[in-house]
Structure formats: C-alpha cells, structure tokens
Amino acid sequence: MARTEIAGIEAILSAVRFVSPTFGFKWLAEEVRDNLPKELDFGLEAENAERCRQIMAAADLGDAVVVPQTYSDLSSTRVLTMDFEEGHSLASTAAVMKAEGVRCLSIVRRFSEAYAEMAFVAGFLHCDPHPGNVLWRRKASAPGGFQLVLLDHGLYREVPEDL
C-alpha cells in the first residue's frame, strides 16, 4: 500500500517540477518514502510507545503523561491493540480547560517538560505532536490535577548527542 502512495506523490511532484522547475519540494517525496513505512508498521509503533512510556517514568512523569498500553499478543505489524484513553484535544479553548479546573499554562508547561525530556535527555523525539495526538484530561490524583495523553507513536527521531 505505501509503495502506491509514495509513487503517486513522486509522480505529482515530478509533474509540478516539469511545469515549474524551481519548485523545491523534492524533499517531501523523500520524507514520505522514508517515513510512511514506519508510520504503517504497528510493531514499531508499539516499541516506540513502550520506549516513550519508559522515558516518562524515568523522568518522574509517569503519572503526569500517559502513553496507552499496547498488547503485543493481540497485535502485529498491521494491527495494533492498545488501551483507549479519554481526553480533550490540545486545540480545546481556554474556557473548556478552565471549566475542567485546569490552567492552560499548566498544560503548556507539562507538554514542554515532556518534549524537553524526550529531545534533550532521552534523544528520542515523537515527531507528530498535533492536537489530535496529544490529549489532556482532568485527573485529581495526577500531579497538578491533570494528565497529558500521548498518542500515535509511529514516527520518532533519534536526536544525535552532538546536535
């Protein structure tokens, strides 16, 4: 399946380059070619999720940042079985957060702390942190009274130590 999508993207970009030779998006086809197979490998996603969970636990963020548990005995490279985790999108309005008793600034700080831990300490960075993949939820027993939930662990990057 991924080969068809990659070939389609490459064909479209080639046609655009033919019409407009200065079009500089060849990198896009290369990114898709390199990363789409990773995004579609659910075995890799389960491994990445477990590593992320371990990073959060080692940073004493395990109760503050949730990574859904995956079940390898019920999963494969094409099927991923994991816990369903409730939460609100990071695109929620300040009014929604306030109504839940959570301060926007607290959510931003927690998000920053989790990503700083991944990037600067562990060197293993979640590459798809859009509002559909990072949720927040009120949980009285969690630090600050809320948790973040990190979803979609298909694509990570190793951050070189000398960067």
| Alpha carbon distance 155, 99 (integer Å) | 33
CB 108 within 8 A of CB 94: no
CB 52 within 8 A of CB 153: yes
CB 56 within 8 A of CB 62: yes
| Alpha carbon distance 126, 113 (integer Å) | 13
Active site residue ranges: 128
Place of tokens 């979609």: 152
